Amino acid sequence: MTTASPRRAAILGGNRIPFARQFGPYANASNQDMFTAALEGLVARYGLAGERLGEVVGGAVIKHARDFNLTREAVLGSSLAPETTAYDVQQACGTGLENAILVSNKIKLGQIESGIAGGVDTASDAPIMVTEKLRRKLLKINRQKTTVDMAKSALAIRPGDIGIETPANTEPRTGLSMGEHMAITAKKWGITREAQDELAALSHQNLAKAYDNGFFDDLMTSYLGLAKDQNLRADSTVEKLAKLKPVFGKGEGATMTAGNSTPLTDGASAVLLGSEEWAAEHNLTVQAYLVDGEVAAVDYVHGDEGLLMAPAYAVPRLLARQGLSLQDFDYYEIHEAFASTVLSTMKAWEDEEFCTQRLGLEKPLGSIDRSKLNVNGSSLAAGHPFAATGGRIVASLAKMLHEKGPGSRGLISICAAGGQGVVAILEGA
């Protein structure tokens, strides 16, 4: 079934700051600093200073309590009109793409004419929490009215209560890290070390080539002295990657290394969307349309599905709704959380058993042309500041599709913590 939209939501451009490795050049930059910088670059590129947009939707996966209104604060610190509304969304690594879908939906419905979707994350400027026991005891002290009662409550603190916790990349319900989860899935799908290293090397080579071609000249704004993604290793090869020791999984079968897994990263991205009328009024070129999006979740806790396999479910649902096959695309952007994520997902789509039994399809979705996959690099090379990845991909793909021409199509697939996956289709203009 194809639902006719009242009107189309256009992607008009994007901007991000170069992504930095954890404790790198952005070590002292907050989420608000980075997202404001990403917004400012976008405002400058599209001449939006003083403009009231329909809304700005941002968010971060790792957030301080003080940043409850992170996106609104970033808007107020930007050159956009202060009358521009804003809100935060958090859907793990799917945040940025989910935000683009949200903004596009409002545009399609005619609720807004323009909007910015983005996200930011810092792995460096992380919040620190005290232990749960200490937190409860401190709150109790704070509740007391008299000094004596406060002192009494304070005496209840034991040495063992004292300690700090930083946010961990761990699934609360399984206690396993994302990498450990992925290692299970990679093993199940028989993803080899060589295939992963090959994908990782290609990601670096593609990203390096994109920089050389000036692809990012109108997609990026330098920040704190960084003008390129810090994680990029232009001279990366399969041979070099083969030397790294596995970090996830155990024993003989361990294949996942620091080279074929994304590093912890700081960064921010933002995408400008609008109605076609608004774009024309502002002399902006429509690069692509956000056609449709879909989100799926899998039961990785009690069921036996892999934590990062949800996009494998979301894509066929989206294809069915749009009446498209997996092969109907000019570009595929599959977020490289780990090289093995991309490879497992593609293998699942080729697998008869998976497609018929788990997806309920008549036959496998089939293969995708690897020469159309992540052609300007992806997260393994660029890095992956969780909520910022969606904006990076949407802006890059929109540009690629615009260059390819009207009617060209691109598919985005992003896996997220909590067993979720956000996917979307873009069409070139």
CB 326 within 8 A of CB 349: yes
- For this structure, is 384 an active site residue? yes
Q: How far is the CB of 211 from another protein (least distance, A)?
A: 9
CB 15 within 8 A of CB 41: yes
Please say which residue, 35 or 189, places its beta carbon nearer to another protein.
35
Please say which residue, 194 or 281, places its beta carbon nearer to another protein.
281
Buried b (16+ CB within 10 A) or exposed e, 198-237: bbbbbbbbbbbebbeeebbeebbbebbebebbbbbbeebe
SS3 state of residue 416: strand
Q: How far is CA 114 from CA 40, 54, 57, 110, 281, in A?
A: 16, 5, 11, 10, 11
Q: How far is the CB of 15 from another protein (least distance, A)?
A: 9
Q: How far is the CB of 191 from another protein (least distance, A)?
A: 36
Q: How far is the CB of 402 from another protein (least distance, A)?
A: 13
Environment class of 110 (CB within 10 Å of its CB; exposed 0-12, middle 13-18, buried 19+): exposed
CB 316 within 8 A of CB 365: yes
Residues in contact with another protein by CB under 8 A are: 37, 40-41, 43-47, 49-50, 79, 214, 216-218, 220-224, 227, 283-285
Please say which residue, 268 or 309, places its beta carbon nearer to another protein.
268
Structure tokens at 40: 């400012």
H-run or E-run covering 193: helix 193-212
CB 255 within 8 A of CB 245: no
Please say which residue, 217 or 304, places its beta carbon nearer to another protein.
217
Please say which residue, 284 or 387, places its beta carbon nearer to another protein.
284
Q: How far is the CB of 216 from another protein (least distance, A)?
A: 7
Please say which residue, 159 or 214, places its beta carbon nearer to another protein.
214
Q: How far is the CB of 214 from another protein (least distance, A)?
A: 7
Please say which residue, 199 or 226, places its beta carbon nearer to another protein.
226
- For this structure, is 93 an active site residue? yes
Residue 97 CB partners (closer than 8 Å, separation 6+): 293, 389, 390, 393, 394, 412, 414, 422, 423, 424
Angle at 296 between CA 294 and CA 299, to 5 degrees: 180
Rg (CA), the chain: 22
- Ordered DSSP codes for 338-350: BHHHHHHHHHHHH
- For this structure, is 355 an active site residue? no
Q: How far is the CB of 19 from another protein (least distance, A)?
A: 14
Please say which residue, 172 or 214, places its beta carbon nearer to another protein.
214
Q: How many CB atoms lie within 10 A of CB 25?
A: 17
Q: How far is CA 405 from CA 11, 89, 248, 330, in A?
A: 14, 32, 42, 10
CB 179 within 8 A of CB 248: yes
CB 220 within 8 A of CB 196: no
Q: How far is the CB of 228 from another protein (least distance, A)?
A: 9
CB 171 within 8 A of CB 417: yes
Environment class of 288 (CB within 10 Å of its CB; exposed 0-12, middle 13-18, buried 19+): buried
Catalytic residues: 93, 384, 415
